[in-house]
Chain A
């Protein structure tokens, strides 16, 4: 008897996804036998817009790529520009950048824990994790003036200095977060029902990680020790004492573990940053007078993995090419390995497990017709032709 496949659509609008995205799960009964990913619902042409902005304006633009990791993109971008110019930034600015980046990691990981709970139908964890995430936003508001997009990175340093008077408040909030996350970690690792849902689900081996080129917590949960903060240190990471969290199991539980344990490392880094910022005085920014022709690359370890920016300059005050690769872009293809063969219920937590961020990912949309990819000029020609045809008919355009 021939088995009949059913397509279970996850998306384009689905409670599992915070953003529009489309996964087709090919299922036989409850078993997933195949997956297809259709992207392009979120394309906003950021790279193209970036070519029309001056170097100082671009951080504000790339910050708006993603609301969750809104400082990783500017950080990677300023790293790229500084790499292009060959600039060394003041030490104080380095620590401030590290502080912001790590606070963002804390908030992003707590956000993920909450969402993962929600996807498992555990709404209490969702609400609690998000409540405990609030102090990080308060800290950000105090330090940068914003709760969401911090607007603090600029080529050559940071825009806003930190005041020592704020540190006691920050410290008290951090202590608060620490005790709460300790409790949460214990609760997650002890709950038999959660373990039943997470353990041994969506396993990715180290070989799979290499094959797909996955990065970030997903790779570190499979025993692949990659972290831009250690492998190619930027900001102040090589001057601080911290450890990379690596777990070898490669299942969903390991991914949750890596993220929860990274919160503690981030708290440790933030505390060290505050201690160093009390000692180091001086400028927070070096004026970038001129950007010479050439190319620069910069990356930053976003909460989801390596975020990569490439900038090319022709000597004017605007980049002529700005290429962005977000971590989710390389993590999403691993679904082929982790989802297929499992049940629908497991598939969905696997989709959430890499913490995919679709608005980060979609830099390019290719339009295909009859199996042939259409390029920009063809699309423009087609569009003009259609307009002409409509005009000829006399239909209002």
Chain B
């Protein structure tokens, strides 16, 4: 069994523009982040703090990292739109890429600069990859299946496929799927060193020049019935090396069958990945949202799906990671949302 299907009951998104898709073709607001030791500066797109300000009273989120707040904000919006009441048959699947980077860097910085005996026990638990999922489960009072998946930029689609597996196996009636990414100077510098980021603070899909790292999150509530959009996911495949990316993405899309999409919402980001994305279909059907919201790596594939649910018709969502996987999904929306 390759492709699995479900229905999308609700979605939520958080981008540098805020919590709606009503930003048209605007580029994301860009800010500077600095390595305090070297003074090296990097351009990134962060999410306005106001987006998650309402979560400040949640007991488990008071000390939580940005990634937890972003995930919770997107998930709340998706749950609200879905109309479900999370309960014992509700599962949670959260996708992350770099995880709780801010607390991880701060904790290790304490170890290096002031000694292991001064490292804060308040920070360490928040460095664990499943801390955001744990906070979200506590907020929603879930006592069943809670999973955190880790991966590259495809992890949002992997989380959706994992959720479809849970639904198909009868392990849950509803699955809340979320994905989120927070930024820190160490990530910005690492990706710069990896020669993936743009020096101009822009992301120009198919034009090269590198990507613009961004914070962000997305969420969807899935079930086997209901909703106005059908979601089909496939397992995808791992990529042995960069030169296999195009073939891997093509093979992954073929797992969906003869798709004939009306739209393609891709993950093109101005890096070498774009060569593979260019083979997904004609350019006049392609939408590349990273130009407008930046590249929130771990959140990006699920953000693409949220964009796809807003389009009428059949929308192909391909995703490629820098070092792991090719993934794809098909969103069939009955009406413009």
Q: Do A and B come from one complex?
A: no
- A residues near B (Cβ < 8 Å) are none
